[in-house]
Chains A and B, each alone.
Chain A
Amino acid sequence: MSLREAGLVYKTVREIRGPLLFVEKVRDVAYDEVVRVITPDGEEVLGSVLDVSRDYALIQVYGETGGMDLNVGVHFTGETLKIPVSDELIGRIFSGSMKPLDGMPPPISTDERDIHGGVINPAARAVPSEFIQTGVSAIDGMNSLVRGQKLPIFSESGLPHNQLAAQIARQATIPGREEEFAIVFAAMGIKHEEAEFFRREFEKTGALNRSVMILNLADDPPIERLITPRIAQTVAEYLAFDLDMHILVILTDMTNYAEALRSISIAREEIPTRKGYPGYLYSDLATIYERAGKIKGKKGSVTLMPILTMPGGDITHPVPDLTGYITEGQLILQRDLFLRGIYPPMNVLPSLSRLMKDGIGEGRTRKDHADVSNQLYMAYAEGTRARGLVRIVGVVGLSERERRYLEFADRFEREFVNQGIYENRTIEQTLDIAWDLLSMLPEEELIRIRREYIKEFHPKYRRAG
């Protein structure tokens, strides 16, 4: 029996600085190894090794270090951080470090997975191309989601991003197929009532039976947030690529995750780049986001929807900025639309789905989809430009053409973007609303739409035909 198994506990902590412990006189410690920190009153907190030399180790602690003193014990486990995986995780609720919160026993499995996961070989990736109908026009029509995509919601506090995420989770289907998504939901530092909202929503629609909830709430240890999304992605990967399931992962709120990362970085006295965030924030976020996708020869998929609140509504803030560079687009919620009573208050202009092109068109949605979406963008952009003009020159100062686009933009927001929280539109309905709106513009202005599609789908010809 080695010293390790005998439960050797070091009492050689030399310094505690924020969430970091400096331990001396250690032997045979591995980089990234999991440690258990034992407080004098017998409580155990998880940690992991960040930096190790021959006789010294730096440890980040995933719990509160407040109240600890230099007499805490440190036990090195010899393992990297792993979680047990099995299909029995489905329907369960766990803490941010995988402790059961539902009163049931901890999951047991012989199959354990490292929470850092592996990297999907780029050559083995399958291009995501199956259109997911969310029933939300602003998404389906203009920023279509496909299976295996990572599409975040950029929001601000107080906006209904949770409602939108729940609506997507409830309504997402592949048209023509019956398969449902299983949901892996991870919360990082959100309020109890927000987590409760999701639980209730999932319960109401029966989705709870096919979901795994992993919750680190606002009053849970902040540093634990570093492992919560990784646990979620590990569960999702297992369900998707071992059990052939289609998984929708919701991570909320990634801004809180990034703040936890920042606090470790600052405690380590690393050189910050923007707003105190470390230079590796991009790469670190990528190790979470990039685990979404599809693999050639495997049935399952991981579709990822991170939610993050932009501090001060600033899209250039490092967290939304770097997220946008990693994810395949973004859905942007905006306060002024919300104040005008538009739900979802999604500004489609800066929103984007990069994988839309592979998921739409003939055989998937409808052949006119891409052109219609393009034309809507152009017309809505014209309309918002005219709206800006009105503030200066008034409606009378607008040309006939500008007035028409102004009206288009208003109707577009009210009729196309705006819809009910429980309204589930088919893609055909969405495109028909779009054509109805486009028909208020002169036909020769629809230059982004192929002529044959105009002849086939324009209400004018449909009525005539």
Chain B
Amino acid sequence: MALKGVIERINGSLVVARFEEEPRIGDLVEVGKLGLMGEIVRLSGRNAFIQCYEVTSGMKPGEPVIDTGTPLVAELGPGLMGNIFDGVERSELEMWRMVGPFIKRGVRIAPLNRDKKWYFEPKVEKGEKVVGGDIIGVVQETEYFQHRILIPPHLKGEIVEIEGGEYTVNEPIGTLKTDEGEEVELKMMHTWPVRMPRPYKERLPLTIPLITGQRVIDTFFPVAKGGAAAIPGGFGTGKTVTLQQISKWADADVIIYIGCGERGNEMADVVTHFPELTDPRTGRKLIERTVIVANVSNMPVSAREASIYLGVTLAEYFRDQGYDVAVMADSTSRWAEAMRDLSGRLEEIPAERGFPAYLADRIAGIYERAGRVVTLGSERRVGSVTIIGAVSPPGGDFSEPVTTHTLRFIGAFWALDTELAFRRHFPAINWLRSFSRYIEVASVWWEKYEPRWMQLRARALKILEDASEIEETARIIGEKALPDEQRLTLLIAEMIREGFLIQNAFHEVDRYCDPEKQVKLLKLIMDFHDAVEPLIRRGIPIERIRALKVVSEIMRVKEEKGVEPIEEMRKRMRREVSSLAGEYGVE
């Protein structure tokens, strides 16, 4: 029996309603004559404070409110892949078909299509004992992606009936008899409350880097599968392009892309371009492994708050199937602002910059849902959720609350730099301010390409650091006045910047760089350094070294396909250097 109430007050997205009996906090409600979606966020006796997920214009006190008795849940099952949802999991593709190109209020759309039939292939037999998390069958959801149908967590018993065939998500595919003797219908979909982390058996240490094909990330500031990373930067520094690059090229099985309070045209960009691009590893279209949550900036702020939880819940569901999932959250600052907005309307006492005092807890709560785990189920299965969050600090100032709190809970920090962005150095990740706590993890993995990877990385980073100090001096006395050893450092740093760190997201070859090529490129530059350094020490002027034809060629070799051109370049470099040495009679 649904609990009923009436509206007492409307203040923007906040609606106060008086119920017949005390309702439950966190319950989903239908608000007003239009039946808009809302969630109870505070109780005061029989008065409930409701965060309404749709625009409340035209609503009046006295209109009815109905408590649905369930919290905000995500529907999980076939039909997620390639779809695009709002913050409360309404399919925007479906909404477009139903009501046209403008979003309408009060439209009810089941998240998963109820009419579409999927071919279900059972993986268990009658009489088998199963527990929550067990795979009972599979659905080939896209050409590339196999959706594994799970027993929902907390359910266990014996399969009484199960049969393959064409089903909709809501039709029974079998029956399960619980230990208590109760018979439960099994369906391909189940639901899960978005604010509650999905359970797993145990957490595993992180041992594998997520390879993104982006050199500055993979080589210098890697993130581990199951780890968390943040990418803060002022506007125009390339947060979104970087996140899009990662979601295109990262070696994850599933990508959840959350557009949280950002631009509509960017979502259109993802929706338009992902179906055109192919995964370099599987050869399949990228959209086949991607789910998009798009609650853009002019959609209701309250649904924006929910969108991050929805995205992470979807990720956990795919993790439980044994997949490596990467979540892009763009932008967590807009999510935090949505919280601030609601907090203000609830007249809570703010902490810093108007944000509620529980901001840090909420941020932690999200990033802690990242991890590499042994999933539920009787057979051992490992899956991971990696969370990468964009942060949009006001004025590009990293000392603001969202950035500082985020820093406490993440393992990789990619600090974007306005100065770099101005010179169109992209990705504009500042190598002096960024860090990664996953270097140890990555070094073991990288050994198969380069046994001395740690040293290679450290030496390159040292040159970049030294160069920035030398530049400070150069700014005062001029580069010309520096000793040639220091000018060599500047030259090598420039070669690392231009030839390695800068990566053109829109260049048909350079946009993705595989690990082998990353190592070879960096090694080529460092070998060049080692080859010319003795020459400098023997008095050959830096101008002559800079004038070597191979210098600019090394900076361009990243644009060539494969690693052979790098080996060619190495030979050429040796030839040019020894010819220069010969000219000066240096061995």
A interface vs B, CB < 8 Å? 28-33, 50-54, 80, 114, 116-128, 148-149, 241, 270-274, 279-280, 282-283, 286-287, 289-291, 293, 295-298, 316-318, 321-322, 324-326, 328-330, 349-350, 352, 354-355, 357-358, 370, 374, 377-378, 381-382, 388-389, 392-393, 397-399, 402, 444-445, 447-448, 450-451
Contacts and interface: CB of A to CB of B under 8 A. Distances in A.
Given A352-B421, A370-B506, A448-B424, 4 more contacts: A52-B61, A53-B9, A125-B268, A447-B552
B549 interface: yes
Contact of B476 (A316, A392, A399): A392
A54 B61 contact: yes
B64 interface: no
Given A123-B84, A374-B424, A355 B265 contact: yes
B184 interface: no
Contact of B267 (A125, A317, A328, A444): A125
A57 to B, nearest CB: 10
A148 B422 contact: no
Contacts of B272: 126-127
B55 to A, nearest CB: 8
B299 to A, nearest CB: 5
B539 interface: no
B334 A282 contact: yes
B478 A123 contact: no
A349 B297 CA distance: 27
B259 A399 contact: no
A399 B480 contact: yes
Contacts of B271: 122-123, 125
B236 interface: yes
Contacts of A272: 354
B481 A397 contact: yes
Contacts of A295: 101
A279 B9 contact: no
B290 to A, nearest CB: 13
A283 to B, nearest CB: 5
Contacts of A114: 57
Contacts of A286: 261, 296-298
Contacts of A374: 424
Interface in B83-104: 84, 92-93, 95-96, 100-104
A282 B9 contact: no
Interface stretch (B127-135, B144-152, B390-398): B390-398
B57 A377 contact: no
B101 A120 contact: yes
Given A271-B350, A279-B340, A280-B341, A120 B102 contact: yes
Contacts of A50: 11-12
Contact of B344 (A51, A120, A279): A279
Q: Which residue, A28, A116, A324, A444, has most C-beta atoms of chain B within 10 A?
A: A444
Nearest to A290: B298
Contacts of B481: 393, 397
15 contacts: A30-B58, A31-B58, A53-B61, A117-B102, A120-B264, A121-B96, A121-B101, A121-B103, A122-B271, A122-B296, A274-B394, A282-B261, A326-B297, A350-B236, A392-B476
Contacts of B95: 121, 123
Interface of B: 8-12, 16, 55-62, 84, 92-93, 95-96, 100-104, 234-236, 259, 261, 263-265, 267-269, 271-273, 294, 296-299, 301, 334, 337, 340-341, 344, 350, 353-354, 392, 394-397, 418, 421-424, 474-481, 498, 506, 549, 551-552, 555-556, 559
Contacts of A52: 9-11, 60-61
Contacts of A33: 58
B394 A318 contact: yes
B61 A290 contact: no
A123 B92 contact: yes
A409 B95 CA distance: 51
Contacts of A28: 60, 62
A260 to B, nearest CB: 18
B96 A124 contact: yes
Closest 3 CB pairs of A and B: A118-B102, A316-B395, A286-B297
A293 B297 contact: no
A170 B357 CA distance: 51
B265 A125 contact: yes
A29 B421 CA distance: 51
Q: Which residue, B299, B341, B476, has most C-beta atoms of chain A within 10 A?
A: B299
Contact of A324 (B236, B261, B268): B236
B59 A122 contact: no
A295 B477 CA distance: 56
Given A121-B95, A126-B268, A127-B269, A51 B9 contact: yes
Given A122-B268, A279-B337, A326 B263 contact: yes
B539 to A, nearest CB: 19
Nearest to B479: A399
Given A121-B95, A349-B422, A447-B556, A30 B103 contact: no
A230 to B, nearest CB: 12
Nearest to B301: A283
A153 B585 CA distance: 59
A118 B264 contact: no
B493 to A, nearest CB: 14
Contact of B552 (A283, A321, A445): A445
A328 B263 CA distance: 8
A123 B298 CA distance: 14
A118 B57 contact: no
Given A32-B58, A316-B397, A444 B552 contact: yes
A349 B423 CA distance: 7
A182 to B, nearest CB: 20
A382 B506 CA distance: 23
B498 A393 contact: no
B60 A123 contact: no
Given A52-B9, A283-B337, A80 B265 contact: no
Nearest to B9: A53
Given A121-B101, A124-B96, A283-B297, A350 B477 contact: no
A298 B235 CA distance: 30
Contact of B294 (A53, A122, A378): A122
A398 B552 contact: no
A370 B396 CA distance: 27
Nearest to B477: A393
B59 A30 contact: yes
A286 B331 CA distance: 14
B87 to A, nearest CB: 11
B301 A280 contact: yes
A110 B556 CA distance: 63
A127 B261 CA distance: 18
A397 B265 contact: no
A397 B474 CA distance: 10
Given A80-B58, A122-B84, A122-B271, A324 B479 contact: no
A44 B150 CA distance: 64
Contact of B102 (A119, A273, A322): A119
Given A123-B271, A282-B337, A393-B478, A291 B298 contact: yes
Contacts of B353: 273-274
Contact of B92 (A54, A122, A282, A451): A122
Q: Which residue, B58, B100, B474, has most C-beta atoms of chain A within 10 A?
A: B58
A366 to B, nearest CB: 16
A32 B57 contact: yes
Contacts of B551: 444
A253 B277 CA distance: 41
A31 B55 CA distance: 10
Contact of A402 (B263, B418, B479): B479
